[in-house]
Each structure stands twice: as C-alpha cells, then as structure tokens.
Amino acid sequence: MGDHGNSVTVGESSGSGDLCKSSTSGSLNSNNQNGSNSDISCHDDEDMIDDDADMIDDDGDEDADYAFDYNDDDIYEDDYSSMQDQFDNVDLPPGVEASLPWLKDISSSECKQAIAFSRTESSSKAKVDETDDIVMQKFQQFKQFDTVDSFPDHHYDKEGTKDAQKPKNWAKKIQEEWKILEENLPETIFVRVCESRMELLRAVIIGPQGTPYHDGLFFFDCLFPSTYPAGPPKVHYHSGGLRLNPNLYQCGKVCLSLLGTWHGRNSENWIPEKSTMLQVLVSIQALILNEKPFFNEPGYPSTYPGSEGQRRSKEYNESTFILSLKTMMYTLRKPPKSKEALMWILDTTQE
C-alpha cells in the first residue's frame, strides 16, 4: 500500500420497360399546324404507318414516331407563359417557388411553432451546459479532506464519548493521520474529520471503474478508539440493509484483516508502527470493492475454478450492480445529516 502501510488480505433494383407495352393517348390543342386531334397508340402501329406514309421521307429511314411535324416549341411556350401569368398573380411566401396545394396547408403558426421549438431546444442545451459548468466548478472546489463542526448521525457518536481519557500521544497520532490523509488521499476518496471530536471520521469511497460498484458512493463511519494506534480503528459501513459484497455486512460490519475482523497473515494485520487510516480506506476500495467480489468469499476461488467460477462471478456482478444502484437510492432518500455529507451526494454524483 505504498509508504504508509502493509499488505492486506482479502443490405438496387433495375427496371426495364418496353415502351410498346404501354399506350399513350393525348389531345393536342388547335395551335398545331395540322388543325386536327390525333390519337397515338403503340397498339395501332401498322394503321398509323399506312395513314401517314406521305409524311415519311423517301428514304424511309426515319422512325414513324418522330415523323409528325408539330410545332412543339410554340405549344410549350404558350403553356409556360400561361403558367407564369398565374404564378405572377400569386402572393407567395418568401422562399417559395411554386404555388403547391399542400404547401398552402402549412400555416404560418406551425412555422412559428417549429422555430420556437428550435429556439427552446437551443436554450435548453445552453442551460444544461451552464449547469454542467457550475457543477464542475463546485466539484473542483470540493475538498477531499476537510473539517466539519459535527457528525450528528455518526455511528460511533455515543461510543466515542465513553472514552474520556485518551493515551498521552493519542491526539498527536490522530493529527498525524489527518496530515497523511490530507496529502495522500486518492481522487476517489473523500474524508471529513471534526476538531472537537477527533476520534470521529467519516469517509466516502467512490466505486472504482471496471467494477459493479463503478461511480457508486459508499459511506463509512470510523472511530479512533482510546487504544489507537496500538489497536486498529473501528469502521462501520452504511449498508441501507443491503449485502452487496461478501466483506460488507448488512449490519455494517467491514470484514478486513487490517481491522482485525478477519484472520490473516501477520503482515496483513494491523501493525501499530506502520498501519494507517489511509491504508484502511485504500484497502476497502481496492480489495473489497473490486472487479470480481464473488471470489472475496473464502474458499470460492478453489471451489469454483475455471468457467464455472467465471459464470457465477458474472451473475454475482449483475446482482451486485443492481444492489449498488439501490444503495445510491437509499442514500438519496436518507442522506447523512451533515451538510458536508449531503454535498458529497449532490456534487460528486453529478460529476
């Protein structure tokens, strides 16, 4: 655990069309030079060729379909002028190039609503961005280690007052612990202490990435007993009645060899000259709130080896993730009474 402690256990279509399979009939107006109406149909090709043979060149090479000498340009020009006159008399909205019936159905109020919605959406996004900036500023100003006036709902509040007499160097040792915490806390652990109640400490540990506890907030109340540092501190977990780890009990017990709540090798137990509160908190985060907490249960690594163990571990993680979310809901509904603890929830979670 670095310089401050010992080790611990725990996916095109083409179409082709035959023009002679469809028929086209049409009436031409009196502007054509023939002065008569003609019906053209691909089904009557032979009659058409006989009747109009005199209109075909002697070479006979031209296609009969294109032998008619209509003045098409005049027809199209007259039609276009007529259409243009109609359009010139229409009071069109700006940007509209044709008077289409369906376009008239769009009322100006609907257009205004669309514009208003777009503006509202932009405004909402700006407000969200502004809120995010404020939250980030508050988070950056939020100290990892700080003092508070009191812990009115601290788990060890009454127990701490029982130890009226403390050892000679007890207060000095606590102050040393504070200094170590202030200078060495990782970014995802926050600690608050109280100068008038030096024996009390509250910590919030953020669940590590890549674990079923990711971004969850886990509250721990700690006590430096009168026997400290000869004996380990006491730690209580605010479980909300949920068991989301083999080492974190519903009653609040934290099972860790460093705390003397689990047996371990000598180097894994509390060593008065070397062990620190920082080591306790980092051990909880790294060894308990880990990637595969299923194997925290004693004997499980050997009992469930290979693929069976991994399957069970995955199922446990899925269940643990849900419990982690429920723990957050519990904390939001019943937050710690201190203002600092509430700030942890409001600021840290939004970040």
194 is catalytic: no
Of 20, 42, 111, 255, catalytic: 255
**Helix, strand, coil shares of the chain as percentages rounded to 5?**
45, 10, 45
Please tell me what DSSP assigns to residue 245: B
The distance of Cα 342 from the centroid of its chain, to the nearest Å, equals: 23
CA 328, 333, 336, 338 torsion-angle sign: positive
In DSSP notation, 52-80 reads TGGGS-TT--S-GGG-----HHHHHHHHH
The distance of Cα 348 from the centroid of its chain, to the nearest Å, equals: 16
25-53: string of b/e by CB count within 10 Å (b at 16+)? eeebeeebeeeeeeeeeeeeeeebeeeee
Whole-angstrom distance, CA of residue 342 vs CA of residue 351: 14
Catalytic machinery residues = 255
